[in-house]
Chain A
């Protein structure tokens, strides 16, 4: 089952490599990984999406918690949550394609953020399926380049992940 694990990490050199190392050492999957400092400059927030049986996920959270630099973590998929991923995609856009792409971008509530005579650069945010859906809708033949941020997530409601 797919899980989103959100981690508050000491913002120190080497901390990220410990997390990544743990996943490869113990043969766990990383599907996406994002990390950036938080409003508290001593902390980074890291989000990792992974898959595995309940037993594996339990081990992942326990092993992560054992890392000295991991301050706190939460498995967002245990409760209701919001997840978002940002995608920038360059599409071949000439002739009649231009209008068609523009319509598709509007349907997916994306934005065209850069334009040349033959290329549109589209920005799209949403959950991962939505981003996949967009690529499917415009067709892979027109896609020149894709960059995705990986998933970020946050719990719904009053729950917060903080110190």
Chain B
């Protein structure tokens, strides 16, 4: 029988759970835990400079690897600083466990120093949260936390640990449970066979089908199954911003991504389709535009692990609740065995129409002889990295340009805050990726607004030698805000302009990194090439891009999917 203190049990449980890295920041209520961490070397701790960054790092790690991330912070401000990060992970269904110190049980409710009701504060943005009431429960609580975070529709789980639960000289028997069972939590393990059959019949009968795939395909590790099914059917596929990489972007059946800033052809194809097979997406408002005008002729098959995502905004004709990989696998078998075959003439005519749309617009932008266009930067990066880099982004115009012009053929490589839209996400997320993918190119495509929201992490990068490349598309304004002000507020640029930008090169150097400025068009490719050759350095690349560029296509507000602005002057 092994006797351990609560703090040692916690760390031991993390070891037994197979956790390699935790990201965090110490403080009073977490000190017993930090001491236990110090006395072992299996679980490595990464010290960030702000707790929000610890969560984004764990998040970046989780998105790149598919494994749950782990965060450790103290009570009060340490815990509340994680909230934006937790909400970011929650909106994008990222598996994560956030361990928070708490004041000792006898002080809870007395407004003690650094006391916050973290269970209450985090409740709306977690999949679940757990509070430790008896030290001997710690191993089971940790096991439960990871089980809940990583199964079903994944999400963040907070564990609140009062300081007296980790007292060093009180020891308890350590038993790490092999399995957890929760009578009230049983995520679906397969889809309903009858519904799957019905869906396949509808797929075979469709004349203008489209597959609409989302982040659930990546989270559910079902990209192979999706690709196989789509290839087999020969139907067009589009995906959401979160689904980027779930199907190779360079394949001709892929129409690009859809929605507010999606491609012309995917929005047109969605609107005119007669059957939408939605796989692991949730018909969110940045995809559907006005729901009452959404795809009027389409019947909808919706596969999702979360029943609450089905018929939430758009009613499904055939709902299928289940893990996407298992459901797609069954569909593949049924399609293979099906006596009915797709209507070749109808599908050919449908493709002909789609190709016309593709030829009409495709992705294009106007170039200029002397100004660097942000799109050009992304295209150059895509070329120079052979489309193989991990790309994280912040939020705004640069995020859309990165998603539009970097073509991802693999999953888990496009890492952005799609649901919550968190500025400040990109750099720490990139750090989380780089730590576990040291030989891969990791780019953080950002803007001068977003990067300043977690710029302090340059210091963490120095401490742990994380040579990510920060690509700052500097347009000297909060570009997306400004774009909306141009379009909807007669160009009244209320607070969207930043008048006192720092010298980012000096700033990077002050933190011990390299900085490169690019402000001439002819320098763009050669200098980017040089930067990418600096394998061991974090390089802050400050690129002065067109200050007046807008992101297009852009759906017209309150319109249908097919109503778009294609440039500042063309509207369809």
Interface of A is mostly: helix
Q: Which of A60-79 contact B (CB under 8 A)?
A: 62-63, 65-66, 68-72
- Least Cβ–Cβ distance between B141 and chain A, in angstroms: 12
Asked if B184 and A25 make an inter-chain contact with CB atoms under 8 angstroms apart, the answer reads no
Which residues of chain B come closer than 8 Å to A63, judged between CB atoms? Answer: 308
Asked if A10 and B184 make an inter-chain contact with CB atoms under 8 angstroms apart, the answer reads yes
Which residues of chain B come closer than 8 Å to A70, judged between CB atoms? Answer: 184
Segment of B123-131, B162-170, B209-217, B446-454 engaged in the interface with chain A? B123-131
Q: Which of A17, A21, A55, A71 contacts B184 (CB 8 A)?
A: A71
Asked if B120 and A17 make an inter-chain contact with CB atoms under 8 angstroms apart, the answer reads yes
Residue of B nearest to A9 (CB): B184
Asked if B123 and A59 make an inter-chain contact with CB atoms under 8 angstroms apart, the answer reads no
Which residues of chain A come closer than 8 Å to B311, judged between CB atoms? Answer: 55, 58
Asked if B124 and A62 make an inter-chain contact with CB atoms under 8 angstroms apart, the answer reads no
Most chain B CB inside 10 Å of its own CB: which residue of A18, A25, A62, A65: A62
Query: How far apart sit A17 and B119, CA to CA, in the bound complex (Å)?
Result: 10
Q: Is residue B306 within 8 Å, beta carbon to beta carbon, of the partner chain? A: yes
Q: Is residue A163 within 8 Å, beta carbon to beta carbon, of the partner chain? A: yes
Q: A18-B123, A21-B123, A21-B124 are in contact. Are A68 and B308 (CB under 8 A)?
A: no
Q: Which of A64-102 contact B (CB under 8 A)?
A: 65-66, 68-72
- Least Cβ–Cβ distance between B185 and chain A, in angstroms: 5
Q: A13-B131, A21-B124 are in contact. Are A68 and B119 (CB under 8 A)?
A: no
Q: Is residue B89 within 8 Å, beta carbon to beta carbon, of the partner chain? A: no
Asked if B308 and A66 make an inter-chain contact with CB atoms under 8 angstroms apart, the answer reads yes
Q: A59-B312, A70-B184, A71-B184 are in contact. Are A65 and B307 (CB under 8 A)?
A: yes
> A68-B184, A68-B185 given. 12 additional CB < 8 A pairs?
A10-B184, A13-B131, A14-B119, A21-B124, A55-B311, A59-B312, A62-B307, A65-B307, A65-B308, A68-B128, A69-B184, A71-B183
Residue of A nearest to B133 (CB): A13
Q: Which of B106-163 contact A (CB under 8 A)?
A: 119-120, 123-124, 127-128, 131, 148
Chain A 88-130 interface mask (CB, 8 Å, partner B; 1/0): 0000000000000000000000000000000000000000000
Q: Is residue B182 within 8 Å, beta carbon to beta carbon, of the partner chain? A: yes
Q: A14-B131, A17-B120, A21-B123 are in contact. Are A62 and B308 (CB under 8 A)?
A: yes
Which residues of chain B come closer than 8 Å to A10, judged between CB atoms? Answer: 184
Which residues of chain A come closer than 8 Å to B315, judged between CB atoms? Answer: 55
- Least Cβ–Cβ distance between B123 and chain A, in angstroms: 5
How many residues on chain B are close to A (CB under 8 Å)?
Answer: 18
Query: How far apart sit A109 and B196, CA to CA, in the bound complex (Å)?
Result: 55
Q: Which of A23-72 contact B (CB under 8 A)?
A: 25, 55, 58-59, 62-63, 65-66, 68-72
Query: How far apart sit A25 and B124, CA to CA, in the bound complex (Å)?
Result: 7
Interface set of A (CB-CB < 8 Å, partner B):
10, 13-14, 17-18, 21, 25, 55, 58-59, 62-63, 65-66, 68-72, 163
Q: Which of B119, B183, B306 contacts A66 (CB 8 A)?
A: B306
Which residues of chain A come closer than 8 Å to B131, judged between CB atoms? Answer: 13-14
Query: How far apart sit A162 and B237, CA to CA, in the bound complex (Å)?
Result: 45
Query: How far apart sit A18 and B130, CA to CA, in the bound complex (Å)?
Result: 12
- Least Cβ–Cβ distance between B91 and chain A, in angstroms: 13
Query: How far apart sit A77 and B538, CA to CA, in the bound complex (Å)?
Result: 62
Query: How far apart sit A134 and B432, CA to CA, in the bound complex (Å)?
Result: 65
A-B contact pairs, 20 of them (CB 8 A): A13-B131, A14-B119, A14-B131, A17-B123, A21-B123, A25-B124, A55-B311, A55-B315, A58-B311, A59-B308, A63-B308, A66-B308, A68-B127, A68-B128, A68-B148, A68-B184, A68-B185, A69-B184, A71-B184, A163-B183
Which residues of chain A come closer than 8 Å to B184, judged between CB atoms? Answer: 10, 68-72
Residue of B nearest to A163 (CB): B183
Residue of A nearest to B311 (CB): A58
**Top 3 closest pairs, chain A to chain B, by CB:** A62-B308, A71-B184, A68-B128
- Least Cβ–Cβ distance between A157 and chain B, in angstroms: 26
Query: How far apart sit A71 and B306, CA to CA, in the bound complex (Å)?
Result: 16
Query: How far apart sit A71 and B184, CA to CA, in the bound complex (Å)?
Result: 4
Query: How far apart sit A25 and B311, CA to CA, in the bound complex (Å)?
Result: 19
Query: How far apart sit A68 and B120, CA to CA, in the bound complex (Å)?
Result: 16
Chain B 175-211 interface mask (CB, 8 Å, partner A; 1/0): 0000000111100000000000000000000000000
Which residues of chain A come closer than 8 Å to B123, judged between CB atoms? Answer: 17-18, 21
Which residues of chain A come closer than 8 Å to B308, judged between CB atoms? Answer: 59, 62-63, 65-66
Residue of A nearest to B310 (CB): A62
Which residues of chain B come closer than 8 Å to A17, judged between CB atoms? Answer: 120, 123
Asked if A68 and B124 make an inter-chain contact with CB atoms under 8 angstroms apart, the answer reads no
Which residues of chain B come closer than 8 Å to A68, judged between CB atoms? Answer: 127-128, 148, 182, 184-185
- Least Cβ–Cβ distance between B54 and chain A, in angstroms: 24
Query: How far apart sit A65 and B183, CA to CA, in the bound complex (Å)?
Result: 12
Which residues of chain A come closer than 8 Å to B312, judged between CB atoms? Answer: 59
Query: How far apart sit A163 and B183, CA to CA, in the bound complex (Å)?
Result: 9
- Least Cβ–Cβ distance between A13 and chain B, in angstroms: 7
Residue of A nearest to B129 (CB): A14
- Least Cβ–Cβ distance between A28 and chain B, in angstroms: 13
Chain B 267-287 interface mask (CB, 8 Å, partner A; 1/0): 000000000000000000000
Query: How far apart sit A21 and B129, CA to CA, in the bound complex (Å)?
Result: 13
- Least Cβ–Cβ distance between A19 and chain B, in angstroms: 11
Query: How far apart sit A65 and B310, CA to CA, in the bound complex (Å)?
Result: 14
Residue of B nearest to A63 (CB): B308
- Least Cβ–Cβ distance between B320 and chain A, in angstroms: 15
Residue of A nearest to B125 (CB): A25
Which residues of chain A come closer than 8 Å to B127, judged between CB atoms? Answer: 68
Query: How far apart sit A70 and B184, CA to CA, in the bound complex (Å)?
Result: 6
- Least Cβ–Cβ distance between A54 and chain B, in angstroms: 10
- Least Cβ–Cβ distance between A62 and chain B, in angstroms: 4
Query: How far apart sit A11 and B53, CA to CA, in the bound complex (Å)?
Result: 36
Query: How far apart sit A125 and B124, CA to CA, in the bound complex (Å)?
Result: 36
Query: How far apart sit A21 and B128, CA to CA, in the bound complex (Å)?
Result: 13
Which residues of chain A come closer than 8 Å to B128, judged between CB atoms? Answer: 68
Most chain A CB inside 10 Å of its own CB: which residue of B123, B128, B184, B307: B184
- Least Cβ–Cβ distance between A66 and chain B, in angstroms: 6
- Least Cβ–Cβ distance between B507 and chain A, in angstroms: 39
- Least Cβ–Cβ distance between B187 and chain A, in angstroms: 10
Residue of A nearest to B123 (CB): A21
Which residues of chain A come closer than 8 Å to B307, judged between CB atoms? Answer: 62, 65
